[in-house]
Structure 1
Amino acid sequence: MRGSPGGMIELMVMNASAGILEGDDYRVGIHAGSGSRVLITDQSYTKILIRETAPPERR
């Protein structure tokens, strides 16, 4: 987090994985008190990976 001259906090949410895979449950919880000034951003892109073929069968 980085504070700006206007008293606003800038928060960048980062995802360190290769992307969001089909079936993933991706949640972010942010709590800010009354009177808070926050700018929340994320990375310039997020990959959404969807499996286009059926998974291999187990034997």
Structure 2
Amino acid sequence: MCSRHAATKACAAHRIPMGKLEETVLELVKIHIENILDMKKSWILSMKYHFKNWI
């Protein structure tokens, strides 16, 4: 149950199934890791380009 409903009853009671929540969080973590790896690849390429121009 959402915290707002539990505290104030200001909205209708609603729930997110734990399995769906876990699937969603896992998918977002995977996407985040992919983005970090892409950033690392970009950084490595930019460093290669930067140092290539120094030599």
TM over 0.5: no
Shorter-chain-normalised TM-score: which range?
under 0.3
Larger radius of gyration: 2
Higher relative contact order (CA 8 A, sep 6+): 1
Q: Which has the higher helix share?
A: 2
TM-score computed with the length of structure 1 as normaliser: 0.21
Q: Which has the higher strand share?
A: 1
TM-score computed with the length of structure 2 as normaliser: 0.22
